[in-house]
A and B are shown apart, each in its own frame.
Chain A
Amino acid sequence: MKIIILGAGQVGSSLAQNLASEANDITVVDTEDLGLAQLQDRLDIRTVIGRASHPHVLRRAGAEDADMVIAVTNSDETNMVACQVAWTLFRTPTKIARVREAEYLNHPELFGGDALPIDVRISPEQLVTEYVQRLIEHPGALQVLDFAGGKVQLVAVKAYYGGPLVGHELSTLKQHMPGVETRVAAIFRRGQPIIPEGTTVIEADDEVFFIAARGDIRAVMGEMRRLDRANKRVVIAGGGNIGRRLAGALEDRYQVKLIDHNRRRSSELAEELGRSIVLLGDAADEELLLEENIDHTDVFCALTNDDEANILSAMLAKRLGARKVMALINRASYVDLVESGEIDIAISPQQATIGSLLAHVRRGDVVVVHSLRRGAAEAIEAVAHGDPRSSKVVGRQVGELKLPPGTTIGAMVRNDRVLIAHHDTVIESGDHVILFLVDKRNIPEVERMFQVPVTFL
């Protein structure tokens, strides 16, 4: 696929990195040459310097035969105009733009139809916010990912001593919880994937990925570990876009305190937010944290745009007694560094957002992609089409599918109904199938399975 990425910021460059490894022709456009040079050094891509919305820049980037334009520059307006230019001048089939400003997002009629030709809008801040929000709603989970509009969720938990299932075979799960259907999709033991079988024994410290309907998540988690009590008091450090959105989303159900060090910003936030308490100060100020009862805080989220500040303030909060701390960390190398230490969850914004873009790059009818374990693994939701003759999946039992190694089918959603996959479940046309791939390199094979041969059309 020929893809043009406009903007070499954090989202743009990590996107380039992810896509370049998947045999795509990538061109990155940016106004600054420094970032581009660094990218080109590392990756096998083309770079163009110039303003992303200018027609001649787009032409130089190969817009004339590009399959997709992904506009992720800093400016909403540039992104929107670039999509308009790409469509009007070059008839680029797929146009994806990052639009952050709620003023625009609140009017969906601005996009598509005879208005702005943007096929997909992504808002990274929104995605990260939702990601953190799900983590707060499910205390104890390392990751919570939505499929089929949230009907099915994939949850990663660390197994602890004391969980009823720990030390037992997976097949006993059914006896433990007769009414609850779930499927363990993968287990990572000391960083190495294990393909779960009925006889696999869960050990303490295993990272277990399981799939279940939304309502069953809590029950299943209780099998792996002692359940944490529900979160109530949340402290957010950093009143940027993510911190602000998160506070707004949580404040009706949780006691939210938001710390920001910028006087003007914090007074704006205080005006905008309703029940949250906005504190002016440094998130790494011990006295401020103690004054605001950090030792009785359930979750501390460090969400500034400074990795180091996030790590340090989260560590401090943990030391002062916060029950669970999370830190937003952009640099991949830091993520590995901190997760073994005091910080409970490192949130990688790239990983949280890249999935929504990957879904559009994938061949076959792939609706949702979630990138896992720093991009090594992937969970996807694909729609099965066709009939038993044309399709490799429709009309077949899950057990008889020739899935690549390390791939499991976790669940299916058929007409809004959640079906947890068993060996004898038959896939029908129109089913949303949720697959877990331990190794991302097998993606093309899975794509091929869900692609419908041209003859079918």
Chain B
Amino acid sequence: MQLATILRILGLLIAIFSTAQLPPLVVGLVDGEGARPFLVAFGVTLVAGFLLWLPARRARAELRTRDGFMVVVLFWTVLSAFAALPLLLAERPRLDVAGAVFEAISGLTTTGATVITGLDTLPRSILFYRQQLQWMGGMGIIVLAVAILPMLGVGGMQLYRAELPGPMKDTKLTPRITETAKALWYIYLSLTVACALAYWAAGMSGFDAVAHSFSTVAIGGFSTHDASMGYFNSPAIEFVAVAFMFLAGINFALHFTAWRGRTVLNYFRDPEFRAYAAIMVGVSTITVAYLYASGTYPHPFNALHHGLFQAVSIGTTTGFTTTAYAAWPSFLPVLLIFVSFVGASGGSTGGGMKVIRFLLLVVQGMRELKQLVHPNAQLPVKLGGRRVSPQVVGAVWGFFAAYVASFTIIMLALMATGLDQVTAFSAVAATMNNLGPGLGEVGPHYAVVSDTGKWILAFAMLLGRLEIFSLLVLFTPWFWRR
């Protein structure tokens, strides 16, 4: 392991990350309150980064795959630790270490689960900082999923993509990774700007529009209000949110090819997008129809905008709420939580197991059934008319098994801390799928969870965000053997 090189990279990352404290600092200075924690955090982070970087600044060894895992995991853990600093230092809200780290990880992993109550009364600098964390996390995820993970060979979907022809072949969209990252950055930025403008046009204040555009495009779910999107009570804003959540849940590689080729046809050629769109439309329809039929909302329009918003918000693992959806007839919240397991597309800012993996599991399952009827038939697993290699299918099954196993263990651990079953189940689902709000006691916020529980859930968020394997690999003995 190239420890020195890793330290150098990490030091640089932390030093760069210290600048993340500057925008909220400016907000704090303008408002005249809540600037101090950011100033301190900025100094500490910068110095810490510099101290890490200094002794290792000459290390320039070639990074191996193993080092890649290390960097990726450290990126999220160490940055989360530093990101927790200003939250810990702030006077309002008063958070302990567990709470601050939980909040920071929830931000950077774009989960959107919060331990803070009374958001509406907090200094705007803190609010802005939380939104900004999600936005940065979202960017990190895109680069991670589209540019870094393929290099490490983790996850079925990257392998699968590499075998597709045409526009989909571009796992690396451009020959050089920095170019790819830059292109994705532009797309991410333009989506954010468009989203902010749309919110503003729909009636949000400038601050709220920018803040919510951050957490929408990142599929995060943090809000500047306790009532989340429900605060605005405006169907127009909800429809804007639905549109941008849907867009952000699409593979960014598709956005890139669409933008480069000036066409939208490539979306409809992509089997993952088709499945994603079908799931969203299907779940929204069920939700709206059930809400109306069950009499939860007697007025059809209310059923429509609440149902559509909640279905897309939970389905893409964003986690905004317009209403206490946990109080809906219990079929719906549970349905939506299960949809969040499928989550958004691979290569998007969303969480969950990703549509592409789910799709492969379904296709493979159908294949097995067909094989029973035609024992002699040659039945390759095909997606978009192309064969998916058995290794990829195996990897996806492995991922699924690991996901379920991790889920079970974490849920049991959580129940051991004293939570009831519905709360534990939904809390683990909401964190591992990077969704945010759960059901039961953790419906509105996570302040009720014990410190141990918070640590466990923070781990679950990282696990989900790092696609399980890239985090679990660090816990294997082979990884550490020289």
What is the interface of chain A, defined by CB distance below 8 A to chain B? 266-267, 269-271, 274, 277-281, 288, 291-292
Picked from A271, A274, A280, the residue with its CB within 8 Å of the CB of B377 is A280
Interface-located stretch among B43-51, B310-318, B324-332, B380-388: B380-388
CA distance A277 to B378 in the complex (A): 7
Q: A271-B387, A274-B385 are in contact. Are A266 and B375 (CB under 8 A)?
A: no
Residue of A267, A288, A291 touching B378 (CB-CB under 8 A) = A267
The CA-CA distance from A344 to B123 in the complex, in Å, is 87
Are B374 and A292 in touch, CB under 8 angstroms?
Answer: yes
Q: A277-B370, A279-B374, A292-B376 are in contact. List 6 more A-B contacts (CB 8 A).
A: A266-B378, A270-B378, A279-B376, A281-B376, A291-B374, A292-B374
Q: Judge whether A279 and B385 touch: CB under 8 Å.
A: no
Q: A residues within 8 A CB of B374?
A: 277, 279, 291-292
Contact residues in B for A288 (Cβ distance below 8 Å): 376
Chain B residues within an 8 Å CB radius of A270? 377-380
Q: Kindly provide the distance from the CB of B370 to the nearest chain A CB, expressed in whole angstroms.
A: 8
Q: Do A267 and B380 touch (CB < 8 A)?
A: yes
Which residues 383-433 in B have Cβ within 8 Å of A in the complex? 385-387
Nearest CB of B to A256, in Å: 12
Alpha-carbon distance A269/B382, docked complex (angstroms): 12
Q: A271 near B376 (CB under 8 angstroms)?
A: no
Contact B378 A280 (CB under 8 A): yes
Residue in A closest to B370 when the chains form the complex, CB atoms: A277
What is the CB-to-nearest-CB distance from B111 to chain A, in angstroms, rounded to a whole number?
39
Closest Cβ neighbor of B386 among chain A residues:
A271
Contact call B376/A269, Cβ cutoff below 8 A: no
Residues of A within 8 A of B379 (CB): 270, 277-278
Q: In whole angstroms, what is the CA distance A190 to B77 when docked?
A: 89
Chain A residues positioned under 8 Å from B382 (CB to CB): 271
Determine the distance from Cα of A278 to Cα of B370 in the docked complex, in whole angstroms: 12
Q: Please, which residue of chain A has its CB at the minimum distance from the CB of B375?
A: A291
Please indicate the chain B residues that have their CB under 8 angstroms from the CB of A281 in the complex.
Answer: 376
17 A-B residue pairs with Cβ-Cβ distance under 8 Å, sorted by A, are A267-B378, A267-B380, A269-B378, A270-B377, A270-B380, A271-B386, A271-B387, A274-B385, A277-B374, A277-B377, A278-B377, A278-B378, A278-B379, A280-B376, A288-B376, A291-B376, A292-B376
CB-contacts of B167-220 with A (<8 A): none
Closest Cβ of chain A to B392, distance in Å, is 14
Q: How near does chain A come to B30, taking the closest CB pair, in angstroms? A: 61
Chain B residue at minimal CB-CB distance from A269: B378
A279-B377 contact in complex given A271-B387, A274-B385, C-beta closer than 8 Å: yes
CA A269 – CA B377 in complex, angstroms? Answer: 11
Whose C-beta in chain B lies nearest to the C-beta of A276? B377
Most central of B370, B376, B386 by chain A CB within 10 Å: B376
Contacts of A274 in B (CB 8 A): 385
A274 to B271, CA, bound (A): 14
Q: Which residues of B are found within 8 Å of A278, using beta-carbon distances?
A: 377-379
Which residue of the partner chain B has the closest CB to A288?
Answer: B376
B376 partner residues in chain A, CB cutoff 8 A: 279-281, 288, 291-292
Give Cα A266 to B378, complex, Å.
7
Report the bound CA distance from A267 to B382 in whole Å: 12
* A266 partner residues in chain B, CB cutoff 8 A: 378
Shortest CB distance A262–B (Å)? 11
**How far apart are the CA atoms of A271 and B378 in the complex, in Å?**
9
CA distance A270 to B376 in the complex (A): 12
**Residues from 319 to 377 in B contacting A, C-beta threshold 8 Å:** 370, 374-377
Most buried by A among B378, B379, B380, B385: B378
A271 to B374, CA, bound (A): 16
